[in-house]
A and B are shown apart, each in its own frame.
Chain A
Amino acid sequence: MTWEEMLPLLGPATLETAQMVGWSAVFTLLLGLPLGVALVVFDRGGLRPVPVLKSVLGFVVNVGRSLPFIVLMIAIIPFTRLVVGTTIGTAAFVVPLTVGAVPFFARLVETALREVGTDVVQAAQAMGASRTTIVRKVLLPEALPGLVAGLTVTVVALIGYSAMAGTLGGGGLGDLAVRYGYQRFETLLMIVTVVLLLVIVQLLQSLGDWVARRLSHK
């Protein structure tokens, strides 16, 4: 294949991957952040201890985390159809990607929030701050560098997952690698795809590290 032939394939595929990962990341953030907060707040010794609820949430998260993504993707096809009306194409794969990443990100959120010292939380309680104020103005801002680092790791994981989506008709760079690199032995395209993924992941990780560092005042 020549560059003239590859570029029209690589461009749209990269865009599809970016769309899948981008939207999944947005939904993962919206769902995983509250879930992670809940895991900390409802825990024994948390701001609002409800150990039963925390155990249930923890169990659900563990179920999500224990399924390999390719299995999860197939298992929730009926749910995907219910949500987006179809099970193929880029939009359809935002659903399994989000479902797969939410428990992962929630655990990272939980870890980041636990890093916040109990002394600052108690200081806020001693000042008469309500629980919502403590979450909004103490826990989340104090954990922000850790949360950014967690989100970066999650986005990189999503890029990995999204390549698997390619095998079931999700489009993107993974789809390209399967159809051209594997089924048509287009070695050059395969190499270009690999390099492209490598560059994207490196850039994202560096960006995430930089932002986390800028936010940290330790």
Chain B
Amino acid sequence: MIQASGLRKQYGTTVALDGVDLHVREGEIYGVLGQSGAGKSTLLRCVNLLERPDAGAVTVAGQDLTALGSRELNRARQRIGMIHQHFALLSSRTVAGNVAFPLEVMGVPRAERERRVGELLELVGLDGRGKDHPHQLSGGQKQRVGIARALAGNPAVLLSDEATSALDPATTQSILALLKRLNTELGLTILLITHEMNVVKSVCDSVAIMARGRIEESGAIADLIRTPGSRLTREIFPLPEPAPAGSVTLTFTGDPRQPVVSEVVRKFAVDVGILGGSIEDLAGGPVGRLRVTLDGAERAAALAYLRDSGLIVEEAA
């Protein structure tokens, strides 16, 4: 749905994007995770060409945006929704007026606009608040207005620029739940950037980890978790790095309640000591990660048994 290749963007001597490729599939929620200054905001703004990349091409819904003239680009942008960290609502307009704005830009007649605004406000859970002004709303409600506005043009794609970063944890969860619902119900493809791992864990199907203008790792979360040594796994399950010599780190991707550790102790002549671990609910289901010491005569056989049980086993040197 979104295809970007070879994106480069430089501001003076600062390289914001250093050859970035991005592939977002239709109907997925794709998260770009990174610290501030990693280039993720520039990347997002290159997708609808708010920033024009110095090199590279961007295709959204089969249309090469970098090849369009300004009028065609404006028309293409009407089919790409965007929500913002600080909501970017017009303070001079009411809630309904804000949602109607993109419809005015598209030239939708008044009666049709009013009907559509009503639908959209209902969709985001703000029916009845149309006559209020943005300053009368809470942060979470403002972002709901932002989402309603972004959906006005029936976009195929929604871009989210740190949309929950200015919100408290409970509100963040409710906004993420709304995005997830829109993704499922409308089949909306969502590209979001965030510096919060929590956002990625809650809603994303795929993720790209960015640092210093490059994507360091990307793919479906379920696949990355199964990839030994992936950055995503290390960041989701913070265990002390480097792992102590002789320790073993186990990643459970199936049912974390399976009693494999006690089985290993019973079947093989080994002792297991637990160093640390946790279980997280990810898009594909629960995933656990456990670091243990595993010593004894049958260590090699025990590790082989764990691998055969479907666990990912990483041995520290």
B31 interface residue per 8 A CB criterion: no
B90 in contact with A142 (CB, 8 Å): yes
B86 in contact with A119 (CB, 8 Å): yes
A128 in contact with B105 (CB, 8 Å): yes
Main SS at interface, chain A:
helix
B48 in contact with A126 (CB, 8 Å): yes
Which residues on the A side are within 8 Å of B101 (C-beta)? Answer: 124, 127, 137
A117 in contact with B88 (CB, 8 Å): yes
Interface residues of A in 125-158 (CB under 8 A from B): 125-130, 133, 137-138, 141-142, 144
Which residues on the A side are within 8 Å of B88 (C-beta)? Answer: 117, 119-120, 122-123
Nearest CB of chain B from residue A215's CB, rounded to whole Å: 8
B102 interface residue per 8 A CB criterion: yes
A125 in contact with B50 (CB, 8 Å): yes
Per the bound structure, the CA–CA distance linking A141 and B91 in Å amounts to 9
A217 interface residue per 8 A CB criterion: yes
Known: A119-B84, A141-B93. A128 touches B77 (CB 8 A): yes
Size of the chain B interface, CB-CB below 8 angstroms: 29
- Closest residue of chain A to B104 (Cβ to Cβ) is A137
Contact digits for B57-86, partner A, Cβ 8 Å, 1 yes 0 no: 000000000000000011111101010101
B77 in contact with A127 (CB, 8 Å): yes
- Closest residue of chain A to B94 (Cβ to Cβ) is A217
Which residues on the B side are within 8 Å of A130 (C-beta)? Answer: 74, 105
B134 interface residue per 8 A CB criterion: yes
Known: A125-B77, A128-B74, A217-B135. 11 other contacts (CB 8 A): A117-B86, A117-B88, A126-B80, A126-B159, A127-B102, A127-B105, A128-B76, A128-B105, A129-B74, A142-B91, A216-B91
Name 19 interchain pairs, CB-CB below 8 A, sorted by A. Answer: A120-B89, A122-B88, A123-B82, A123-B88, A124-B101, A126-B77, A126-B80, A126-B159, A127-B149, A128-B74, A128-B75, A128-B77, A128-B105, A129-B105, A137-B101, A142-B92, A217-B92, A217-B133, A218-B91
